[in-house]
Amino acid sequence: MKKTVLLNAAISQLIATMGHGDTVVIGDVGLPAPAGVPVIDLAVTRGVPDFMTVLQTVLSELQVEFHVVADELQTVSPALAAQVEALGLAGKRSVPHEDFKRQSARARALIRTGECTPYANIILGSGVVF
């Protein structure tokens, strides 16, 4: 059994196979999955699992070089925006939500949470550990 906090086999495999610059999206329950992007669906019910728990767990194993959020997160869901900001992630990029959805189409996968907070979505760009 794995001894790190990330136990989900599909997410572990995804992170293990990501290269420099590859991206993964962690999204709320309403974020549309772009055609051709695999979905790792964790949603069980409204709010379970929540966005921050999934994000923090992914961050325990993924080296992040940059991240992308929608501009709307700050104005519509400022409490969640503050939680994401407090993580101190590298290379913040903020784009309009429509651009965010277009960028999601290039992701290796979309991890769907049960989060119901508007704009609770992030794109994580893989960095290198050396």
Q: How many CB atoms lie under 10 A from the CB of residue 80?
A: 21
Of 128, 130, 122, 129, give the one whose Cα is nearest residue 58: 122
Residues recognised as catalytic = 20
